[in-house]
Structure 1
Amino acid sequence: MDDFYIGQEVSVEKTFGKDEVLAFSELTGDCNPLHIDDGFAKNSRFGATIVHGMFVAGLISKVIGMQLPGEGSIYLEQNMRFLKPVYVGDCVTAKVKIKDIMQEKKIFTLETNVYGNDGTCFVSGTAKVLYEGEL
């Protein structure tokens, strides 16, 4: 685990398109009109269609599973707060940062956040991950 250190951070950027949001709705069965019906969403408190919170949070999973710690990572726990909506067409950045490493058990405590280009925090949380990748 010499390649990992406290404070190490990795990020990934994504713009959420309408077609992707529709596909996520179909895959999960979450067809809430706030996500897929422009007319309904326009008359809501949000004023436009919003991306599913769990779709946004999926970017965190992408970073954990593919980059930090990476392949062989197993989610043990994820806590998150959805602070602001992400709108269809928004570009966001998911950031994962190492807060602690339990060397003997190969368990990472991670800070997990999703930000907008202006620094707005949309999702804030922490995760615990068991790392079973090559050392």
Structure 2
Amino acid sequence: MIPKKSNFHILQIGFKDSFTKIIDEDAVQKFSELTGDVNPIHMNEDYAKTTRYKRRIAHGVISAGIISALIGNKMPGVGAIYVSQELKFKAPVFIDDILTANGEVVERWEDKNRIKIKTDVINQDGKVVTEGYAIVMFE
């Protein structure tokens, strides 16, 4: 079955949605294997204890992946093409953090079938770990 194309019209300015994911040990291991990023701050507990964080941190870009999941699955999902993302990493993500990506449509370009989404990712304590803006186009 072929999924239906997106409903660009539902994504009006002010439309909001979110997506939540636990960043567990398995996620960090898989991300490291996929990307080849084996920096010891992510992979070696003994090394991480010598850093300012005193424990391992997840790869910062994993939080951007949570934003991608929000766009690809829910905002609006089918038909969305992630064009660009501006990111600022505000705080570390630790193993077993629960991250929630939030998005809010802040601009629309009807003639280009594109929207601008204000994005942030917060952890289980409500702390912003990543923020920025995404541009999404539609088929």
Q: State the TM bucket, normalised to the shorter chain.
A: over 0.9
Residues 64-104 of structure 1, C-alpha deviation per residue, up to 9 Å, x if partnerless? 11110321211222100000000001111111111111112
Distance 2:73 2:21 in 1: 15
Q: Given the alignment, which residue of 64, 73, 77 partners 2:71?
A: 64
Identity over aligned residues, as a percent? Answer: 37
**How much has 1:110 moved relative to structure 2?**
0.5
Residue correspondence of structure 1 range 121-132 to structure 2 within 5 A: 121-132=128-139
Q: Given the alignment, which residue of 13, 19, 26 partners 2:20?
A: 13
Partner residue, 1:76: 83
Distance 1:36 1:73 in 2: 33
Partner residue, 2:34: 27
**How much has 1:117 moved relative to structure 2?**
2.4
Q: For 1:2, what is the secondary structure of its paired residue?
A: helix
Partner residue, 1:92: 99
**How much has 1:2 moved relative to structure 2?**
3.0
Q: For 1:61, what is the secondary structure of its paired residue?
A: helix
Distance 2:64 2:21 in 1: 12
**How much has 1:13 moved relative to structure 2?**
1.0
Distance 1:88 1:62 in 2: 19
Q: For 1:97, what is the secondary structure of its paired residue?
A: strand
TM-score by length of 2: 0.90
Distance 1:15 1:92 in 2: 6
Distance 2:68 2:30 in 1: 18
Report the count of equivalent residues.
132
Distance 1:125 1:95 in 2: 11
Query: Gapped runs of 5+ residues in structure 1?
Result: none
Partner residue, 1:108: 115
Whether contact under 8 Å (1:69, 1:131) holds in the other structure is no
- Which residue identity lines up with residue 75 of structure 2 in the other structure? L
**How much has 1:58 moved relative to structure 2?**
0.1
